[in-house]
Amino acid sequence: MTTKTTWPLMRVLGDRDAGLYLCGVVVSGFGTSALWLASGVWVKDLTGSDGLAALCMLAMWLPTLAGPLLGTLADRGRRRPLLIGANLLPAALLLTLLGVGTQADLWLLYAVLFVYGATGVVHDAAESALVATAIEPSLLGDFNGLRMTANEAMKLLAPLAGAGLSAAYGGAGVALLDAATFVLAAGLYAMLRVRESRPARPTGSGRRRTMAGARHLWAHPVLRPLVLAGGVTMLCAGLNGAMVYAVVDDLGHSPTYTGVLYAVQGAGSLVVGLLCGPGLRRLGTRRFAASGVALLALATALRAVPWDPVALVCCAAIGTGLPAVLIAALTSVQRETPGALLGRVTATAHTLVYAPNVVGLAAGAALVELVSHRLVLVALGVALLVTAVALGQSPARAERTAPRSSSDASPA
């Protein structure tokens, strides 16, 4: 039993290209997570404004809305050179931030962060497409789980390093660190041995090519319910996240206690990343995703209970349940999409799944001032439970063809 569970995971870890991918994720993820925190602190120190500091995160997230358009770049040429360029470009741009020293220079910081975010959309689309060509479909769930684990580990460690570096050397020091991690990641991606053929010349209008990813998602019986469930889940997750300070107040702690809650949530995400490969094989993508959403629903509703042990258990459960639908959706996109479309479909799926999280955060920030957070949390739990039930009851006939689906027929 143990061999069946661990062997696919060890096959991924033993694969040279998969190892290089994961090292690239760890290195660039460390720099990105450090910059997320340091950029806001940088602006706060220069201006004293919470609103201007919050715009840093908005500048990085805003390009996600243009995912369908940016994803076309990942389908226009070979993905490995594009992946290398998508690391070297932000590395060069980050060096320009060494000149930011006054409030008048903030436009440059926001502009760099915006391009940084747009490059990240292209990077994720190209990486997803390239991974699907290098790793056999049956191991994609294991790889995506390990990728999630690596990302979450960096989110636990990098903000602390970024905060310390920012305090010692300012935001420019963190920008230099992030630039160095991008250069190192570009070197790792350059070592990949993936063979790629040149894509066929694009046909049809630019608008039609841009929308091809959305049409594929909407018409596909496996991908549509997963992506829609992912979007609803992330909307609720954004609303839930906006309640965190009210939850901490209800527990009788200072705002710094949120760091403890986020650390416990991150630990839950580390665990599910290691278990999702076996879970996807045993349950299938829809039932695995539905199980995660159901766990998230229960944990979200129980956060209304003002008791520390319950709060900590709920945070761990949220960290475990939330990634399930995200990993299931991404793995299905990689399995069920022809190689020529994979960049656009991935970027479009990311837009549909992650953009609602921004909406949820904004709506939650307003809602928490008007309505009891306990009522909101219970309502979110009910909404998530309905989502889980709907996803679990979706017909699974198409899903069972996944190992023999379009990913195997892909030109890549």
pLDDT tens column, 357-383: 888 878 887 888 889 999 999 999 999
CA angle 307, 310, 315 (to 5 degrees): 120
Q: How far is CA 14 from CA 17, 24, 94, 132, in A?
A: 9, 16, 34, 17
Q: Are 210 and 344 spatial neighbours (Cβ–Cβ below 8 Å)?
A: yes
Res 398: pLDDT: 42
330: closest CA among 398, 262, 239, 407?
407
Per-residue model confidence as pLDDT tens for the chain (412 residues): 344 444 566 777 778 888 888 888 888 888 887 887 788 878 878 888 766 877 887 788 888 888 888 888 888 888 899 999 999 999 999 999 998 888 888 999 999 999 999 999 999 898 888 888 878 787 888 888 888 888 777 777 776 777 778 778 888 888 999 999 999 999 999 998 877 767 666 666 667 778 888 899 999 999 999 999 999 999 999 899 888 888 988 999 886 687 788 888 888 888 888 888 889 989 999 999 999 999 999 999 999 999 999 999 999 999 999 999 999 999 999 999 988 889 899 999 999 999 898 888 788 878 888 899 999 999 999 999 999 999 988 554 444 433 333 333 332 3
Q: How far is CA 171 from the centre of its chain?
A: 24
Structure tokens at 298: 């229960």
Q: How far apart are CA 397 and CA 307, in angstroms?
A: 43
Res 156: pLDDT: 72
Taking the model in full, what pTM does it have?
A: 0.81
Under 8 Å CB-to-CB from 388, ≥6 apart: which residues?
229, 290, 291, 293, 294, 297
Residue pLDDT, tens place only, 277-323: 889 989 999 999 999 999 999 999 999 999 999 999 999 999 999 99
Res 202: pLDDT: 61
79: closest CA among 227, 225, 194?
194
119: closest CA among 66, 158, 155?
66
Q: How far apart are CA 170 and CA 241, in angstroms?
A: 28
Amino acid at site 284? G
Res 406: pLDDT: 33
Res 379: pLDDT: 97
